[in-house]
Structure formats: structure tokens, C-alpha cells
Amino acid sequence: MQTTFVILKPGTVQRGLIGEVISRFEKKGLQLVGMKMQQLTPEILTEHYSHLRSKPFFQTILSSMMAAPVVLCCWRGMEAVNVVRSMCGATNCREALPGTIRGDFGISIQENVVHTSDSPENAIAEVARFFKPEELFEYSLANQPFLYASDEIN
């Protein structure tokens, strides 16, 4: 099982789409193992988006990500990183396929509804960056026998 990290961006909070987005992950069969609301700071965003530091749009990402509080969440499931990434769709909402979260709820490159971890290594780093160990929950999912075949998970 993997745990992946998702940010519901300020635009998602402002547009009243929190429930819609979370509902998709729940319906998929992912297990919510951590969730909180937070006002992001330049410090944490500079670390989180360090790979984009040289980009001309870096400052606008920072201000857009601080425009309102965000919802941070962690989702657990088999291959959760790739599953969530493909559910979110391409970075540019105009290119994201219909049926994906960005394809259905956005029309911008930057205001693209969600952030999601792009690799298992980054998921581990991002969960640790935004969540304290005591904010993550280990519990058995009552419907797990109906989500996976008995020989599919160990």
C-alpha cells in the first residue's frame, strides 16, 4: 500500500469544490488517512516547489497558493501515487482529459485545482513535510474485502 499527498488548492476552497474533489477519491476506494486545513507560507511553498524556483511563474504560484487556506490530505491505497495522479489529469486543465479532476473542474494551467505527489519518493517527502506523525491515522477500512481481491494485497 502507498500513501500519497494531495493539496486542494486555494481556488478549490474558494469555488466550493472541496466536497466534489474529496468525493472522487473516496468513491475510487482510497482511504483517507490524514486531512487538515492550513494557510501555507512562503517558506513551506519555496521548499515544496523548489523544482520550479527558476521559472518565471514561480512568484505567482506562491501568491496563488497563499490566496486562501488549502485543504491538505493523505490517501492510502494500492499504487495510490499513480492512481491519484491519473485521476487528477494533466497539469494544464485545458489539456486534462474530461473525467479527470482537472479536466472537469478547471480551465487554467496554474489554477489547476489540486497538487498531487508525482512519485512514491516525493509522496513520502511531501507527507512528512506537511503532516506530523500524530496527524496520520492507521485504521483498517471496513470495506477493504470488497475493494480488493483477497490475493491482491498482502
Provide the binding-site residues for ligand ADP, judged by CB under 6 A.
Answer: 52, 57, 61, 91, 109-110, 112, 115, 118
CB of 2 to ligand ADP, least distance (A): 17
- Residue 45, φ and ψ in degrees, nearest 5: -70, -35
CB of 94 to ligand ADP, least distance (A): 11
Residue whose C-alpha cell reads 483517507 in the numeric block: 32
Between 31 and 112, name the residue whose CB sits nearer to ligand ADP. Answer: 112
CB of 53 to ligand ADP, least distance (A): 11
51 catalytic? Reply is no
Report whether 67 contacts 15 (CB < 8 A): no
Report whether 74 contacts 36 (CB < 8 A): no
Separation CA 98–CA 47 (nearest Å): 31
Catalytic residue among 9, 48, 102, 115: 115
Q: Which residues are catalytic?
A: 115
